[in-house]
């Protein structure tokens, strides 16, 4: 069989035409690009904010209140800059958002201190609160969530989700910024935890690694309905448990064992666990 060789000049001409078409397609998408802040800008904002809230995140201790105030002013400027890259549909005055955010920040700080206290009290391995704040992935993920949740409640688009996905990539913990979480929240170990958009979590709740608070399969037109479960106060959910559905309520003071799959509500003060049958054979 004879194979005809295509002249190299023709090959180059075809490649140029294909490249030109591809570049045109790419340029078309860039010309309609949604206005967004860069990941570096958002990361710098959250790093600076955490260093203001917690000395454990700061390289050096502040030498005066004026120095701390200067860093606080820089944080406001960083948020204002990030907001300038976002197109708003509900709230147009970005300066009001910045002021509202920093007015609410002391309450977020109090919540985070309660979260750190719950982790220190609930984990025998925790040496002190500073260790929890600086090194525990659960605390970092909760910090990112609480800050992004405040921005979400202020109707800031995109940035809350960018923040929580940054926390997700660092910790393996995925908390949607629209979820509702009470005080004294403890995520132990944390890898693989997923908390969906319409989840409601009460106070003094403890989750272990691999827990999923998810939705049952629903159509897109149900996006605005409650699709994720409600976890009431003082509930402990052990590793790899999966709880699904917007009508599913886990009553207060309940314990959900590891690897449990739940799509129905549980009364308060209930223990739910799997009892798998183990087959143990002595090795010859």
Q: Which of 166, 251, 259, 167 is nearest to 212 (CA)?
A: 259
Q: How far apart are CA 237 and CA 206, in angstroms?
A: 6
The verdict on 127 and 189 lying in the same domain is no
pLDDT, residue 223, reads 72
The verdict on 160 and 187 lying in the same domain is no
Through-space distance between the first and last CA atoms of the chain, rounded to whole angstroms: 63
The verdict on 248 and 200 lying in the same domain is yes
The verdict on 50 and 69 lying in the same domain is yes
4 pLDDT tier (thresholds 50, 70, 90): low
The verdict on 124 and 148 lying in the same domain is yes
Q: Is the pLDDT of residue 10 over 90?
A: no
Q: Average pLDDT of 257-263?
A: 96
- Which residues, 6+ apart, have CB-to-CB distance to 55 below 8 Å? 61, 130
Domain count, the chain: 2
3 pLDDT tier (thresholds 50, 70, 90): low
SS3 of 249, please?
Answer: strand
Strands of 174-175's sheet in order across:
174-175, 194-195, 212-214, 242-244, 261-262
Q: Looking at 133, 157, 172, which one is the last position of a domain? A: 172
The verdict on 192 and 165 lying in the same domain is no
63 pLDDT tier (thresholds 50, 70, 90): confident
Within a domain: residue 106?
yes
Q: Is the pLDDT of residue 70 over 90?
A: yes
pLDDT tens digits, 164-216 = 999 999 999 999 999 999 999 999 999 999 999 999 999 999 999 999 999 98
Q: b/e per residue, 140-151, with b = 16+ CB within 10 A?
A: bbbbbbbbbbbb
pLDDT, residue 262, reads 96
Q: Is the pLDDT of residue 88 over 60?
A: yes
Residue ranges making up the domain that contains 77: 35-172
How does DSSP assign 179-205, residue by residue? -EE-SS-EESS-TT-EE-TT-EE-SS-
- Which residues, 6+ apart, have CB-to-CB distance to 162 below 8 Å? 36, 37, 39, 42
The verdict on 95 and 197 lying in the same domain is no
Q: Is the pLDDT of residue 259 over 90?
A: yes
Pick the range with the lowest mean pLDDT from 2-11, 29-38, 135-144, 224-233: 2-11
CB atoms near residue 111 (< 10 Å): 20
CATH of the domain at 183: 2.160.10.10
Q: Is the pLDDT of residue 261 over 90?
A: yes
How does DSSP assign 63-77, residue by residue? SSHHHHHHHHHHHHH
């Amino acid at each position: 069989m004879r194979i005809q060789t295509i002249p190299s000049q023709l090959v180059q001409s075809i490649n140029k035409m294909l490249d030109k078409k591809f570049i045109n397609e790419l340029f078309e998408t860039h010309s309609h690009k949604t206005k967004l802040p860069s990941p570096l800008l958002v990361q710098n904002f959250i790093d600076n904010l955490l260093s203001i809230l917690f000395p454990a995140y700061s390289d050096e201790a502040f030498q005066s209140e004026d120095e701390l105030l200067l860093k606080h002013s820089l944080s406001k400027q960083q948020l204002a800059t990030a907001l300038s890259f976002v197109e708003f549909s509900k709230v147009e005055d970005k300066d009001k958002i910045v002021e509202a955010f920093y007015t609410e920040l002391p309450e977020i700080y109090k919540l985070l201190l309660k979260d750190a206290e719950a982790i220190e009290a609930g984990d025998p391995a925790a040496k002190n609160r500073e260790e929890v704040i600086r090194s525990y992935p659960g605390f970092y993920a909760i910090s990112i969530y609480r800050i992004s949740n405040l921005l979400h409640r202020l109707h800031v688009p995109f940035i809350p989700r960018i923040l929580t996905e940054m926390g997700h990539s660092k910790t393996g913990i995925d908390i949607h910024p629209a979820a509702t979480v009470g005080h004294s929240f403890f995520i132990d170990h944390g890898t693989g935890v997923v908390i969906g958009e319409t989840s409601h979590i009460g106070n003094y709740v403890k989750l272990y690694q691999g827990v999923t608070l998810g939705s049952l399969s629903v159509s897109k037109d149900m996006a605005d309905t409650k699709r994720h479960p409600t976890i009431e106060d003082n509930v402990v959910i052990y590793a790899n448990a999966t709880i699904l559905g917007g009508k599913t309520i886990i009553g207060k003071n309940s314990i959900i064992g590891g690897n449990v799959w739940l799509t129905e509500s549980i009364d308060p003060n209930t223990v739910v666990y799997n009892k798998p049958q183990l087959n143990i054979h002595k090795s010859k």
